[in-house]
Amino acid sequence: MGHYHYDCDEYCDECLPVGENSSLVEYDMGEQDSPANCCQCHRPLDYSLTQEGVKYVLGHLKNCIKNGIDWNIYDCYVGSYYEGMPHCAVVRDWAFELKNYFLTEEEEEIVDKFLELTKEVGNWHNKTKTN
């Protein structure tokens, strides 16, 4: 998925309201401090994280493990990529992405723990995506 900046928001190819060659659109190739999701459909966008960004996601995963996984299904995802999915599905995609980065053994354990705790989501995804 592409990752575009337009009018202070982030969009995927499909939701970008103007042509991608418009002078108002900027294609994102840089590193950033947090994961990116399309502001319209919430689909995860291509991004690469800075070290700060990796720390941010790890911190988030740690909080989820400590305070409980958020299995709520929120209305804001209706009609979007995550429709009918629990909130932790979004974070789970971030966690998968982290596997592409260099992590210490301890950090790797945090990611694996989170993925283990949310593995139910995997089935969920398949259920909603096969039709």
**Which parts of this chain interact with Zn ion (CB under 5 A)?**
12, 15, 38, 40-41
User: Taking Cα atoms as reference points, which of 118, 120, 97 lies closest to residue 49?
Assistant: 97
Q: Which is nearer to Zn ion, 34 or 40 (CB)?
A: 40
Give the containing element (helix H, strand E) for 26.
strand 26-27
> Minimum distance between the CB of residue 83 and Zn ion, rounded to whole angstroms?
13
Q: Which is nearer to Zn ion, 32 or 40 (CB)?
A: 40
Could you write out the DSSP letters of every residue in 28-77? --SEESS--B-TTT-PBPP-EE-HHHHHHHHHHHHHHHHH-------GGG
> Minimum distance between the CB of residue 2 and Zn ion, rounded to whole angstroms?
10
User: Taking Cα atoms as reference points, which of 64, 68, 1, 53 lies closest to residue 28?
Assistant: 1
For residues 73 and 87, the answer to whether their CB atoms sit within 8 Å is yes
Q: Which is nearer to Zn ion, 83 or 108 (CB)?
A: 83
Q: Which is nearer to Zn ion, 38 or 91 (CB)?
A: 38
> Minimum distance between the CB of residue 80 and Zn ion, rounded to whole angstroms?
8
> Minimum distance between the CB of residue 18 and Zn ion, rounded to whole angstroms?
14
